[in-house]
């Protein structure tokens, strides 16, 4: 009886995740997965995008220039492929993540005994997408961003005021970064998503302690823009940072 109850709970959980992907407009496909050495190796990115389209998704490669309709990255999903170790067997599965890196849905594992990598990966990806196809994805008109943007509600009033009055980010800027809340402040990520800068709160809502590429400085709001300021060879360097909180 307990086993049946556990299975039912797991089933409801899976269905809940499956339904949540309908809140997102499209899926971004990376050109390279962590376990591979090169971009689109063994046509992994091509096969991923092809399967997404077959499953009813709008899909774009991470290096594509998106139309304004898809300018808000928190309205998009980001797919990742994972590889499990296996003796004489290739095992792959895919994860759908939101703009903050939270896993929204995980597919079943696709397995293949093919010795040639491209054939093995194709079979694994196709099998993994069998579970994705069963979700019958259809964009419901809601925005996944509305759920994500509710997260900063836990921050202090001073920081919330900063977000409201912060400089308006240019969403068309190719160097645009997105702020993810952390325990001490924020981390700024690019569209990959990759962490580019870490911010720590100070007593001032318009200034953060900032670390980028191992260099520590401050991120300050000036003239309706954000600037990363630090010293290099005893000279003050001011670098413009475009960020959406």
Going from the C-alpha of 209 to that of each of 154, 195, 197, 206, the distances in angstroms are 20, 16, 10, 11
Q: How do beta strands 110-112 and 59-61 pair?
A: unpaired
In this predicted structure, what is the pLDDT of residue 144?
A: 55
Q: Is the pLDDT score of 103 beyond 80?
A: yes
Closest by CA position to 115, among listed 88, 133, 151: 88
Integer Cα distance of 83 and 69 in angstroms:
33
pTM (global) more than 0.75: no
CATH of 2-143, one of 3.40.50, 1.10.8, 3.30.160, 3.90.1070: 3.30.160
Contact between residue 104 and residue 97 where contact means Cβ atoms under 8 Å apart: yes
Closest by CA position to 72, among listed 99, 102, 52: 99
Integer Cα distance of 191 and 243 in angstroms:
12
Q: Which two tokens stand for residue 75?
A: 């309205």
3-state secondary structure of 36: coil
Residues 31-68 have pLDDT tens digits of 999 999 999 999 999 999 999 999 999 999 988 888 88
């Amino acid at each position: 009886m307990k086993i049946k109850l556990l299975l039912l709970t797991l089933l409801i959980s899976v269905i809940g995740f499956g339904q949540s992907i309908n809140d997102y407009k499209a899926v971004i496909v990376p050109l390279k997965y962590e376990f591979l050495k090169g971009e689109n190796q063994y046509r992994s990115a091509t096969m991923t995008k092809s399967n997404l389209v077959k499953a009813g998704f709008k899909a774009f490669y991470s290096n594509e220039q998106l139309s304004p309709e898809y300018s808000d990255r928190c309205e998009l999903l980001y797919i990742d492929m994972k590889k499990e170790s296996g003796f004489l067997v290739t095992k792959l599965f895919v994860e759908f993540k939101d703009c903050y890196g939270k896993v929204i849905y995980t597919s079943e594992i696709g397995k293949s005994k093919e010795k040639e990598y491209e054939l093995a990966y194709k079979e694994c990806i196709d099998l993994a997408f069998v579970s994705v196809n069963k979700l019958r994805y259809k964009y419901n008109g809601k925005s996944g961003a509305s759920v994500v943007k509710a997260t900063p509600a836990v921050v202090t009033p001073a920081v919330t005021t900063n977000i409201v009055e912060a400089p308006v980010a240019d969403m068309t800027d190719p160097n645009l970064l997105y702020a993810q809340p952390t325990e001490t402040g924020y981390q700024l990520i690019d569209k990959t998503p990759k962490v580019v800068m870490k911010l720590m709160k100070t007593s001032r809502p318009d200034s953060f302690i900032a670390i980028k590429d191992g260099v520590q400085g401050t991120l300050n709001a000036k003239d309706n823009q954000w600037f990363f300021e630090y010293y290099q060879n005893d000279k003050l360097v001011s670098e413009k940072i475009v960020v959406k909180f």
